[in-house]
Chains A and B, each alone.
Chain A
Amino acid sequence: MDKPLLEVRDVQKYFPIAGSLFGARRALVKAVDGISFTIDAGETLGLVGESGCGKTTTSKLVLAAETPTAGSIEFEGRNVAQLKGPDLKDYRRKVQVVFQDPYSSLSPRMRVGDIIGEPIKAHEGVSSADVRARVAELLELVGFRPDVARLFPHEFSGGQRQRLAIARALSTKARLVVLDEPVSALDVSIRAHIISLLESIQARLGVSYLFIAHDLAAVAHLSRRTAVMYLGKLVEVAESLELCARPLHPYTKALYAASLPSHPDEAREEIVLSGEVPSAIDPPRGCHFHPRCPFAMPRCSEQEPALVELSAGHRVACHLY
């Protein structure tokens, strides 16, 4: 088998928070606490979890906007943390991102053509006529007429803006696009449209996605595999369909229980989580999830469960299995 496009190995990211004026003790926020995953070329990995679980930090690490405290991220077999100069520039060309808020991610004073063309100009020494031709192609790829290039972002709706952001992310022939909750800010009616657009783009260009979301249905639809994150750690990784059909980790079960059923008469297990996500500064001992877990055993508060493979491709970190 080929090497994966992106290999994240035991990555940790701790943020120091300033101690009080007189106390010398500095606390650490363990935003990402040792996670590993891989993304193959042309594949989509979904990453789900509630707010504050470290999804966005993970995306920043992959985008080389933050450097990991420990562990390594390899892209095309090379350690990202050690990339410098032209290699780093090349990495920044090949790995792109689409942010959640399309109202903030497009510069309000630039025309659409300049916004989409900006990465092309930055990375490839091509003439402005070529840039314009590429921009026209990209606009058509995301379903616009090429002449919208001269408009300003505020002349578009949220869903349209997100399509423009996708066009920009694809402008430099990216191999991996990090989708950081790309549909969370959009109307439900637009979401399906954007998801299927992303799907058809992947089929055409063979680009890989790291799809970060908290909408389980969208993740299941777009990604072949899904990873579930809780308080800086991965608790379950499985094929999306398998995860839907047989969620194993109690947290995953709770997530599915909380999502809307696809049919009103559908009978399902009720799991209501009590309490809140514990602080990442001082996470619970043992399994991070045990204070809220309905199946917690004495062992859970003492020993941290490892992510073990139960069946082919289905890994879970829980003492129940």
Chain B
Amino acid sequence: MATIPIGAEGRIAAVRAARRGYRVLRELPMVPLVVLTVLAAVAVLAPVLAPHGELDPVKPTREQCVAKFGAADCPYVDNAPPFWSAGGRLDTPLGTDFLGRDVLSRLMYGARISLIVALTGTLFAGAIGTVLGVLAGYMGRWWDQIIMRITDAWLTLPSLVFAILLSSVRGPGLWNVVLIVALVFWSRYSRAVRGEVLALRERDFVKLAEINGIGKLTIVRRHLIPNVMNTVMVLFSLQVGVAVIIEASLSFLGVGVPPPEPSWGLMMAQERESLLEGRWWLEVFPGVCITMLVLSANMLGDWLRVRLDPQLRNR
């Protein structure tokens, strides 16, 4: 047995804390975290970082291009290629779109739209679904019957078709898309949360609280909600990815965020033909952005599922 010198406890504690910090750092899912951080930073700092406005065509225009490089090096009307291709320019590194707007700047502002819709929409959906799920699971009886039958019916609706229906009622618009995401996806949470609550309700610590005469609301707040948070957080991060896709799809179909806003889905929609005409960058870059965001959200969700369980946390 190793002997520990008197007075060394403080140092040992410090070493332990440092080791623990290192372990957390080591286990962090670096790739998705970096991607999400970068995207969030870009979204917040878009007005500072973006080389051009997201709505205005970049000057100089084609005439100036031809004057500078000659007609042969300016093959595209307003559609400048990325900087490494012939005719590309460094001040519009990812090229320009059919109106001569800088793709990079639009992607940066587009991150705002995607993140706002995905985060707030999923947050509302999670809040509605969690409350209804806890209510159904804990109150039981006809609360359960009514809420779960509605949830079942909701889950049978194909989400995209339902979203299109809702947006045709509400009309296009950023906050309408947020509302739609909340209305379409709450049922995922209520179903999962109700199942968890049904199991928790039978656990002795909940029965004990009831026998101790602790109020229903306190039991919900102190014993049920914290114990379903795992599930909710994991679902949340997975649903963020789905919400990004729904927003992009709605915008792609012309019923989401209206032009000229730089939504990634809308950017892809407006350049549908350009892929066939060889202007691949107008389609690929927004697509890559959507893929990265969705993939990162899913990876983070998987990591959270393991990490948020206090019984796995300190191992």
Contacts and interface: CB of A to CB of B under 8 A. Distances in A.
A118 B209 contact: yes
Given A108-B227, A108-B311, A154-B311, A118 B212 contact: yes
Interface in B219-275: 222-223, 226-227
Given A89-B213, A107-B223, A108-B311, A99 B208 contact: yes
A105 B213 contact: no
B161 interface: no
Contacts of A96: 211-212
A13 to B, nearest CB: 16
Contact of A152 (B213, B227, B310): B310
A64 B311 CA distance: 33
A104 B213 contact: no
Contacts of A64: 211
A63 B211 contact: yes
Nearest to A101: B204
A122 B311 contact: no
Given A154-B310, A154-B311, A123 B211 contact: no
A59 B105 CA distance: 69
A104 B226 contact: no
B213 A106 contact: no
Contacts of A118: 209, 212, 214, 222
A119 B212 contact: yes
Contacts of A99: 204, 207-208
Given A152-B310, A154-B310, A122 B218 contact: yes
A87 B35 CA distance: 59
A25 B253 CA distance: 59
Interface in A14-59: none
Interface residues of A, number: 28
A88 B215 CA distance: 13
A109 B227 contact: yes
B68 interface: no
A203 interface: no
A65 interface: yes
A92 B215 CA distance: 12
A109 B231 CA distance: 14
B208 A110 contact: no
Contact of B213 (A92, A108, A115): A92
B152 interface: no
Contacts of A89: 213
Contacts of B223: 107, 110
A213 interface: no
A63 B207 CA distance: 11
A269 B314 CA distance: 53
A64 B203 CA distance: 18
Residue in A88, A107, A122, A172 whose Cβ sees the most chain B Cβ within 10 Å: A107
B213 A109 contact: no
Interface in A243-285: none
A104 B203 contact: yes
A108 B196 CA distance: 14
Interface string A86-125: 0011001100110101001111111000010011001100
A99 B202 CA distance: 13
Contacts of B215: 122
A106 B205 contact: yes
B210 interface: yes
B207 to A, nearest CB: 7
A103 to B, nearest CB: 9
A6 B207 CA distance: 22
Contact of A107 (B210, B213, B227, B314): B227
B73 to A, nearest CB: 64
B244 to A, nearest CB: 30
Nearest to A107: B205
Residue in B205, B223, B226 whose Cβ sees the most chain A Cβ within 10 Å: B205
Interface string B57-78: 0000000000000000000000
Nearest to B202: A104
Interface string B168-205: 00000000000000000000000000000000000111
B310 A108 contact: yes
B138 to A, nearest CB: 15
A93 B210 contact: no
A116 to B, nearest CB: 11
8 contacts: A65-B210, A89-B213, A99-B207, A107-B226, A107-B227, A118-B222, A168-B208, A172-B212
Interface of A: 63-65, 88-89, 92-93, 96-97, 99, 101, 104-110, 115, 118-119, 122-123, 152, 154-155, 168, 172
Given A65-B211, A119-B214, 9 more contacts: A92-B211, A99-B204, A101-B204, A104-B204, A108-B227, A109-B227, A115-B205, A118-B214, A122-B215
Please give me the 4 A-B residue pairs with the lowest Cβ-Cβ distance, nearest first: A92-B213, A105-B204, A104-B204, A109-B226
